[in-house]
Structures are given as structure tokens and as C-alpha cells.
Amino acid sequence: MSITIWHNPRCSKSRQTLALLEEKGITPDIRLYLEDTPTIGDIDHVLTLLGRDPRELMRTKEDAYKENNMGDESLSRDQLIQLMHDHPKVIERPVVINGDKAAVGRPPVDVLDIL
């Protein structure tokens, strides 16, 4: 089974998580999620695997979060997922997916639980 990382090479935690996987002998499929935006289905699936609400996978300090009023409590799950798709920079990174398990690499060692 392949392991995928939603990766942003400009992010230190993302780089550290990728390095940790490689140290464990894992060559993951690297999805540069800012260029290859996850589909709405992809985001919904990852949220389900993580057992999280959309806001728990959002970077609330990003300009796009504020500019698009993503903190509005009246927004539904579907609306938030659509916003995450439209503005992938707000997606917390890195996300590592291994079959029916996923983890956010914050801290990077958190991904070891799903390997």
C-alpha cells in the first residue's frame, strides 16, 4: 500500500515529516497540494480518516482564512470543505495518508502511529 504526503516544501514541519518517512525507508507519493489541489472528496475523506471537523485542519492565521470569513460559525461542513478546496493554503500540513489511516505531521512524529 502506498503512503501519500500532502506536502509543502516551504514548510519546515512538512520537510521534517518527509525526512522522517524517508529515514524509515518509506518513499511516499508526494502531493504538492498547493499545485495539485485536493478535491472536495479528497478533503472530506481525509477529515473522516482523521476524525476531525474542517476547522481542525485549517490554518486560521492564513490571510485566505480571514479574507474569506472562514471563522463564520454558520458555515456548514460542506461549505468549509469547499473553501479548503478553493484556498488550499489554509489546509494544515503535512497530512500523511496510509490506507484507511491519516495523520497530521505536527509534530512530525505523530505520523509514526499510522505506519
- Domain span at 108: 1-33+93-115
Do 87 and 97 fall into the same domain? no
Q: Output the pTM of the full model.
A: 0.95
Residue 10, domain CATH? 3.40.30.10
pLDDT 10s per residue in the chain (115 long)? 699 999 999 999 999 999 999 999 999 999 999 999 999 999 999 999 999 999 999 999 999 999 999 999 999 999 999 999 999 999 999 999 999 999 999 999 999 999 9
**Distances from the Cα of 87 to the Cα of 23, 24, 39, 66, 84, angstroms:** 31, 32, 11, 11, 5
Do 45 and 85 fall into the same domain? yes
Task: Give catalytic residue positions.
Answer: 11
